[in-house]
């Protein structure tokens, strides 16, 4: 089997991986960053909107352009970036199994940085396995990368920045967003994104959640209800005609490779996890 080596291998060439590659290469290390995608920047390459925040953190620059900027910066310092390359295994001796352009390699490094990003959280509810229920990030990939609408009339679950931004991008791409649902009593994302949706006439329903998606082969209707203490308020159910439910209910880190090579994990309960538990308790009407 072919072999590749580097002092430092970075798994993932999103913003974290590319910044790590730049820093390590600038300090003189022999660096190889690998990413399964054909484009650099991880999440960035599907973000066609201008970033918000501070100017020193690229506010006003479109996400995919930041990906190319980071790639150029890392390569200028001598880092090697290998795209279209999936690390499928990280073993206790710190060797890695890598598929690069359909060929199998053993990758060896003195140090490994895992910058594998996160996956979207799922939300179980009646009908949540029907075709038409998907992560908001998946819908964003369909629209911004593949130029395909996931559906015509969409219910977005979650009003964090991802839920708000993806809703707006879906509208820009020609879909109708019937409603954005938010279990918490207040909108989670920035006011500037919520205001855009409101100007487009899209209702953002706080203290509301999805109860079920209905349809025989795919989503046709979505039942929603208002949330009180401790769960859905009886009699507030209503049905929205929609063919797609997008879930924007948080992200979880991709830790599989770290588990695989035997890293020790510590469980830390932090405030987002607490909010998530409260949300689940409200939805399922638990004591």
Ligand X SMILES: Cc1cc2nc3c(=O)[nH]c(=O)nc-3n(C[C@H](O)[C@H](O)[C@H](O)COP(=O)(O)OP(=O)(O)OC[C@H]3O[C@@H](n4cnc5c(N)ncnc54)[C@H](O)[C@@H]3O)c2cc1C
Nearest residue (CB) to ligand X, 29 versus 143: 143
The pair of three-digit structure tokens given for residue 54, joined into one six-digit string: 């501070």
Backbone dihedral angles phi then psi of residue 18, each to the nearest 5 degrees? -70, -35
- Under the binding rule (CB under 6 A), the answer on residue 254 touching ligand X is yes
**Least distance in angstroms from the C-beta of 49 to ligand X:** 7
Interface residues for ligand X in 68-87 (CB under 6 A)? 86-87
Q: What residues pair up with 106 in beta bridges, in sequence order?
A: 3, 97
What letter does residue 128 receive in the DSSP assignment?
T
Taking CB under 6 A as the criterion, the residue among 8, 42, 178, 213 binding ligand X is 42
* Binding characters for ligand X, 162-181, by CB under 6 A (x = yes): x--xx---------------
Taking the alpha carbons at both ends of the chain, their separation in whole angstroms is 56
Taking CB under 6 A as the criterion, the residue among 35, 142, 159, 211 binding ligand X is 35
Interface residues for ligand X in 213-242 (CB under 6 A)? none
- Under the binding rule (CB under 6 A), the answer on residue 36 touching ligand X is yes
* Residue 250 zone, left/alpha/beta (φ > 0; ψ -120 to 50; rest): left
Is the C-alpha dihedral spanning 257, 261, 262, 263 positive or negative? negative
**Least distance in angstroms from the C-beta of 87 to ligand X:** 4
Instruction: Count CB neighbours of 208 within 10 A.
Output: 24
The pair of three-digit structure tokens given for residue 236, joined into one six-digit string: 């507030």
Could you identify the residue written with the tokens 């159910």?
237
Contacting range for ligand X; rule: CB under 6 A; set: 43-51, 183-191, 193-201, 258-266: 43-51
- Under the binding rule (CB under 6 A), the answer on residue 140 touching ligand X is yes
The pair of three-digit structure tokens given for residue 71, joined into one six-digit string: 């790639």
Contacting positions for ligand X (CB under 6 A): 11-12, 14-17, 34-37, 42-44, 47, 51-53, 86-87, 115-117, 137, 140, 161-162, 165-166, 254, 257
């Amino acid at each position: 089997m072919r072999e590749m080596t580097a002092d430092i291998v970075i798994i993932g060439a999103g913003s974290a991986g590319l910044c790590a590659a730049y820093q390590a290469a600038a300090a003189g290390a022999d660096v190889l960053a690998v990413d399964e995608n054909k484009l650099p920047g991880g999440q960035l390459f599907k973000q066609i909107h201008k970033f918000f925040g501070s100017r020193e953190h690229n506010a006003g620059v479109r996400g995919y352009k930041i990906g190319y900027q980071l790639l150029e910066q890392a390569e200028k310092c001598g880092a090697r970036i290998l795209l279209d390359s999936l690390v499928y295994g990280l073993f206790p001796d710190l060797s890695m199994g890598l598929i690069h352009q359909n060929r199998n390699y053993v990758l060896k490094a003195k140090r490994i940085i895992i910058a594998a990003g996160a996956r979207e959280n799922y939300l179980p509810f009646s009908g949540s396995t029907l075709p038409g229920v998907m992560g908001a990030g998946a819908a964003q990939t369909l629209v911004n990368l593949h130029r395909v609408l996931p559906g015509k009339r969409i219910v977005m679950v979650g009003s964090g920045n991802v839920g708000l931004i993806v809703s707006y991008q879906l509208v820009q791409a020609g879909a109708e967003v019937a409603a954005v649902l938010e279990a918490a009593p207040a909108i989670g994302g920035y006011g500037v994104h919520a205001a855009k949706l409101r100007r487009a006439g899209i209702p953002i329903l706080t203290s509301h959640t999805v109860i079920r998606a209905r349809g025989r082969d795919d989503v046709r209707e979505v039942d929603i209800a208002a949330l009180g203490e401790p769960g859905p308020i009886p009699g507030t159910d209503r049905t929205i005609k929609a063919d797609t439910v997008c879930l924007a209910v948080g992200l979880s880190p991709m830790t599989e490779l770290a588990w695989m090579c035997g890293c020790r994990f510590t469980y830390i309960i932090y405030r987002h996890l607490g909010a998530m538990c409260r949300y689940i308790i409200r939805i399922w009407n638990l004591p």
